[in-house]
Amino acid sequence: RSYCTNHTCSTFTYLQASHLHKRSLLSSWIAQPTGYDAVCTLNTLQTNACALEQVRRERGHPQLQLQAMRGFLERAGLVVEELDHLNIIHVTGTKGKGSTCAFTEQILRSYGFRTGFYSSPHLVQVRERIRINGKPIGKELFTKYFWQVYGRLYETKDTHGGSMPAYFRFLTILAFHIFLQEKVDLAVIEVGIGGAYDCTNIIRRPWVCGIASLGIDHTSILGDTIEKIAWQKGGIFKPGVPAFTVKQPDSPMMVLKERAKEIGCPLWVCPELEEYPADSGPLRLGLAGHHQRSNASLALQLSHSWLQRRCLPGRWDTSLSSWAVGLEDTEWPGRTQTLKHGPVTYFLDGAHTTRSMLACVSWFSEVASQHERTTGSVCVVLVLLFNATGERDSAAMLKLLVPCHFDFAVFCPNITEAIASCNADQQNFNVSVENMLTRCLDNQRSWRLLNGQEEKPGDQLLISRDVLPLVAAECCSKTLVFPCILSALQWLSQGRDSVLAHPDKRVIPVKPSVTAKAAPLRDATGIHVLVAGSLHLVGGVLKHLDPSFAS
């Protein structure tokens, strides 16, 4: 084929990894397997969509699901009791659980503890999900530990009906194995989906649990009301283990309190960050956006509780001033992140629910205006780069973005680039290229309708059987659909971003009429680009904009 996308390359690597199965995975390897081999083999396990379907089937039998997880853990050479030695902080929530974990990990690392941090999803490379002392595990260690775990599971596959753990289950087992082998002092574990049925809930004795802001997401798995979702999230509570939550709406808060009482778990509500004693002046957070303040408060409570329970009382300075540096130094890429590349400024946020999009809009409106005042830009063009996947309500999220008054709305699938090389870490087995692009066209139509623009018959991307189109879909003057992230970025930056204009970047051709529409981008003193709707989209953008992610 003349192009390679996440989809087509996935087909190739699936077959490649299947051949790897037929070779010995242990001592009989002719050559040492590489990190690329590891990621390709990882991708042969059930992908996210399959894992979600498996969860749906097992929803009525959560204990069977956790029992299966224990079986996989034991086949990998671990037992549940060993996880008690990881001194775990377990965190769930709909919005903000990853940021809460990032704050918590940074605070406790600032005390000198050796930290482990397991999160999902990854932005660019799968190793981002498993961190030691705040850094993604190195390629060599990832490869070493991957084959240790995979080899043990594969060796025992035939005696267990050919079963292998799904993608997320496998990575969870791998994270536990790595944290034990690397002898971390504590592990911050972010729940994947929900809580009660999540495979991370195999943990028996965390030191403290946290619940970030609740909202509506993954309704086919967790339930279609916020009360049902709260019940699921409260499933991580453990008898006698303290738990903290940010302030929630009354009905889900009542569910959390009932769950805590039923399980025998003491539950506290975190104060607002403004309610903490300001003994060293106002707190500065490393993560932008007002909504991060509740995440920071939850992280403070989790860190304080862990120190008080795990360590001798009074041994550590737990004053707010001692935590200020940790809060300020926290980094969590792809969440309320700003990157300035010459006249082009990118505002990246992986918001993918209506509630998180509200927070994203508030942050973007404030920070973009501030940036405009600071730089003195007279003529700034606003561009939205958007995609949404799965069961997310794209139209509802786009409606919240209308008041930002974007000059252009650009849509593209989560395909990094339409050329003959791609990143195995970002492959997607779940959906065809046609379906991805159709979703983009649907999002474009929603945007046009929300902006009072008439529907135009015949707007479509013509997709040949073998070749991904390397041209944008022409519609009205203010909305375009591109076949990949790189083509969208190159069009909206118009050669004014030196990173994207690098000779190593192949220029994706577009029709002259599409190029002509970009005249305002070429003439503007500044271009502000909001990237939102999908963490996978944000990850693909970062792969092109930040060389440290690409490497």
Binding site as annotated, residues for ATP: 335, 349
Task: Count CB neighbours of 507 within 10 A.
Answer: 12
d(CA 313, CA 311): 6
CA end-to-end distance (rounded Å), the chain: 26
Task: Name the helix (H) or strand (E) containing 401.
Answer: helix 394-401
Give, as one character, the DSSP assignment of residue 77.
Answer: T
What is the full DSSP assignment across 185-251? Answer: SEEEEE-SSSSTTSGGGG-S--SEEEE-B-----HHHH-SSHHHHHHHHGGG--TT--EEE----HH
d(CA 462, CA 18): 33
- Considering only CA atoms, give the Rg of the chain: 24
Give the bridge partners for 527, in sequence order. Answer: 344, 381
Annotated binding-site positions for Mg(2+): 120, 190, 218
How many helical (H) and strand (E) elements, i.e. helices and strands, does the chain have?
20, 15
Residue 255's contacts (CB-CB under 8 Å, 6 or more residues apart) are 227, 230, 231, 234
d(CA 505, CA 490): 10
Annotated binding-site positions: 120, 190, 218, 335, 349
Return the SS3 of 384.
strand
Residue 340's contacts (CB-CB under 8 Å, 6 or more residues apart) are 346
Q: Which residue has tokens 């034990």? A: 180
Residue type, 204: R
Cα-flanking dihedrals φ and ψ of residue 474, to 5°?
-90, 130
Task: Count CB neighbours of 467 within 10 A.
Answer: 11
